[in-house]
Amino acid sequence: MHLIDAIVAQADAMATLRRDIHAHPELSFQEWRTADLVAAQLSAWGIPIHRGLGQTGVVGIVHGRDGGACGRALGLRADMDALPMQEKNTFAHASRHPGKMHGCGHDGHTAMLLAAAQHLAQQRDFDGTVYLIFQPAEEGGGGAKVMMDDGLFERFPMQAVFGMHNWPGMPAGSMAVSPGPVMAATSEFKITVHGKGCHAAMPHLGVDSVLVACQLVQSLQSIISRNKKPLDTAVISVTMIHGGEASNVVPGHCELQGTVRTFTPEVLDLVEQRMRQMAEHVCSAHGARCDFVFERNYPATVNSPEEAALARAVMLDILGPEQVLEQEPTLGGEDFAYMLQAKPGAYCFIANGEGEHRHLGHGGGPCTLHNPSYDFNDALIPLGATYWVRLAQRWLAG
C-alpha cells in the first residue's frame, strides 16, 4: 500500500477530529457546528472557503502552482449529515445528542476529505483547481441538488466530480469502483385503499379494506416477477400497513407505504405505471377504490466510464490489483447521483473492514450502515485521503 507519508503522519489528528464530529452529530441542513469546524480547518490551512450553498454547505478552493490559470478543475465531495437514530455504542466518542447518530460514516467522509485538503494546500504540486465540496443533507434531504440549485457548478466551474463512501464488510485496505449504475434510484409510494367499514361479524355488509390491501401487497410482486425483463433490476418493498382501530370492526380505510428501487428510468416508468394499474384494478375488483401517490426521489448513481477507469487506475497505483475490487451495485440510494447527472465522475467504495475496529459490546462483525452499533474505521483516513490527492493530481495532469 503506497500511502502519502505526510498524510499518515497526521492520521491521529484526523482521527481525533473525526471522533469529535461523531460525538456531535447534526441532521440534514442543521450541520452548523460541523460546517464551522470544516471552515475553520480549511481557513487555518490557507484555503479560501465559500459558505451558504445548501444552507450549511462549505466549498474549499485549492489552486495549484499555476493559480488555477489553466482552467482545469475537478470537485471532490464529502457528505456531513448524521441520521435520526439512537446510538447504542458506549465508547468515549459516542453521540452526545439523543436520537442523532453518525450511523453512515459521514463523519469519516468529512475527515478523509479534510486530510486530503491539508496536503493539497501544503503541496500544490498540480496545475488547475480542486474544489472541496462539503455537502449537507445526503440522508433524504437531497443536499447535493440543493447546492446545485444554489449555483454550485456555476460559481465553481469544474469538468468532473468524484465521491466516495465507506463500505462495511469489504476487507480493510481495499477499494472498489466500476462504470455504470452503482446505486439505485429511490422512490416512495403510498396507496390508500377506500372500502366500506362494517361490523367484523357481518363482513358481507362492507368492503374489507384490509383484505384488499393484503391482496395488493402480493399482487405488486408480480410486477417484479412477470412484467419487467428478468435481467432488469427492480425492487418493490411494502414496508408499512396501517388500518383498523378495533378488533371487531372491519376498517373502511387501509394504507400501504413502501419503496421502489431501480437502476434505469425505463424500468422505473414501467414499475410506476403497473403499480398504479394494479392498485386501481385490484381495488375495483373488490368494490373498493384507492388513492395512489408515487414520489420519485434520488435518481440512480451512474459512474461515467472514463472517470471510473481513471479512479481504478489511481486505486491500482496505491493498492495493487488484489485490493482493487469490482464495485457490486447496491439498491441503496445516494444524492451524489444529481451531481453525476450534471458532470462526468465516479462514486467509489472504500472498505470499512470486517469490524475489527469496533467495540464488541454489541456483537462482532462489520456492522452495516444505518445500524445503532456502527462506527467508522479510522484506519481508512490515510488511504481515503491519499486516494483523493492522487486522483486530483492524476486527473489534473490529463
Each of the 398 residues of the chain gets a pLDDT tens digit; together they read 899 999 999 999 999 999 999 999 999 999 999 999 999 999 999 999 999 999 999 999 999 999 999 999 999 999 999 999 999 999 999 999 999 999 999 999 999 999 999 999 999 999 999 999 999 999 999 999 999 999 999 999 999 999 999 999 999 999 999 999 999 999 999 999 999 999 999 999 999 999 999 999 999 999 999 999 999 999 999 999 999 999 999 999 999 999 999 999 999 999 999 999 999 999 999 999 999 999 999 999 999 999 999 999 999 999 999 999 999 999 999 999 999 999 999 999 999 988 888 876 667 777 899 999 999 999 999 999 999 999 999 999 97
Considering 127, 138, 139, 378, which one is annotated as catalytic? Answer: 138
Model pTM? 0.94
The domains of the chain are located at 5-183+300-397, 185-296
Render 30-46 in DSSP notation, one character per residue: --HHHHHHHHHHHHHTT
**CATH code, residues 5-183+300-397:** 3.40.630.10
Q: How far apart are CA 259 and CA 252, in angstroms?
A: 24
Percent of the chain that is helix, strand, coil (3-state, to 5): 35, 25, 40
Of 26, 31, 81, 107, the catalytic one is 81
Provide the CATH topology of domain 185-296.
Alpha-Beta Plaits (3.30.70)
Radius of gyration of the chain (CA): 24
Active site residue 138: yes
- Indicate if 188 belongs to the active site: no
